Amino acid sequence: MAQANNYNLDQRFDFTASVKKVIFILGGIGALLLVIGILSAALSGGHGAGEEGGHAFHWTKRLFANIWINNVYFTGIAIIGVFFFAIQYAAQAGWSTALLRIMISFGYWLPIAAVLMLATFFVANHDLFHWTHSYVFDKADPAYDRIIDGKGNFFYWPMEKGTFPIFYIVRMVVFFGFWVFFFNKLKSLSYEEDLQGGTSYWYTIRKWSAIFLVFFAVSSSISAWDWVMSIDTHWFSTLFGWYVFASWFVAGLSAITLVTIFLKDQGYLEMVNQNHIHDLGKFVFAFSIFWTYIWFSQFLLIYYANIPEESVYFIERLSSDVYGPYIFVNIVLNFVLPFLVLMTRDAKRHNIFLKLVCTLIILGHWIDFFLMVQPGTLGHNGGVGLMELGMLLVYGSAFAFVALSNLSKHNLIAKNHPMLEESYHHHI
């Protein structure tokens, strides 16, 4: 590892006051927009007549929907950091050794996300999920819903349907519990590897990574059904778990790329060269295509089959003046833009192109989750306004602060990783 040792492998990120100031300013702008949006909704009489199914609209419902969108979205970006870290070990990858600490730093958001998700569900479950209303399971009630009743055990077992959704809560706790456990396990082993060296820690991390990946494959799909698909309780898609994963993955890759470029611009990560940046660009490009493939497959199979209980999901979005335009914005930001801009080799090796594309992709996949959540919770009362923009900035700033502050506590490079030399010589 002689050549790699020409670099400062004990270098740490200095989370300076100027960087914190930028994050706090963005968070402050977000908080201001959020407050203005809330006041605007409340003072403008944010009370609507009955929605379909007899639900009255209240401005707090829009607030809760926005919290849920960002909870799910940033939870996904956090777990993707851990997932991509685990992939490197399971695949025995060496090129990415210099980037491992960036990936794992995202996982520090997971405990916060767990608290936010559980708290939001307990406070706002009736505003977000139609299946939480007991009357839909009461056959004597005019609002009884046979389809939701048939799915009730998935949420309430072993308790009576319409009481306390213990099965749903247990799944959420188990998923977050194991995600946090695996994150802490992989993180601690990686830091111990820095102290001890050798290959034994690498083999141990690879073993735990493989176990985590199996659990993640199951839990990511079920969490997508629970947290997003069950909002539109009548509707289902067998591709939905893959779809949410693809959206999470591209957003997570874009965030990893932006942090890497930010650190390079600040003079850190001397080992990271344009070949590493090129590989990150290839991942962003490739999985933007993958997301598009899943999106189009889901849309084509459902819309072309024209089965009413399935096609309604797309019809109510495409035919809506509120959501229809955002479907096309979604496709442009998440497919057309990265496809055209990152197609050439040179584009994937230039920071300016990746900064632009990755920033817009993160915004684009937030819009993707907006389209998954708001139509089913708010109907025609939704939209992108000050409340939405403010909430996104608040969550984004909080996530950045948590990730960067914890990134600064340890060496940026896994200096005793057995494949560090391969990362140093990485060239494509």
Render pLDDT for 326-371 as a digit per residue (tens, 0 to 9).
Answer: 999 999 999 999 999 999 999 999 899 999 999 999 999 999 999 9
CB-based contact 349:276 (threshold 8 Å): no
CB-based contact 322:383 (threshold 8 Å): yes
CB-based contact 164:157 (threshold 8 Å): no
Radius of gyration of the CA atoms of the chain, in A: 22
Residue 54 has pLDDT above 50, yes or no: no
What would the pLDDT profile of 195-209 be if each residue is shown by its tens digit? 888 889 999 999 999
Please report the pLDDT score of residue 3 as a whole number.
Answer: 52
pTM score, whole prediction: 0.93
Please report the pLDDT score of residue 303 as a whole number.
Answer: 85
What confidence tier does 45 reach under pLDDT thresholds 50, 70, 90? Answer: low
Q: How many CB atoms lie within 10 A of CB 359?
A: 14
Q: Which contiguous run of DSSP H or E holds residue 48?
A: strand 47-48
What would the pLDDT profile of 81-107 be if each residue is shown by its tens digit? 999 999 999 999 989 999 999 999 999
Q: How far apart are CA 257 and CA 264, in angstroms?
A: 11
Q: How far apart are CA 379 and CA 337, in angstroms?
A: 29
Q: How far apart are CA 230 and CA 227, in angstroms?
A: 6
Lowest mean pLDDT among 6-15, 156-165, 401-410: 6-15
What confidence tier does 49 reach under pLDDT thresholds 50, 70, 90? Answer: very low
Helix (H, G, I), strand (E, B) or coil at 1: coil
- Tell me the average pLDDT across 77-83: 98
Please report the pLDDT score of residue 1 as a whole number.
Answer: 46
Of 333, 353, 355, 329, which Cα lies nearest the Cα of 341?
353
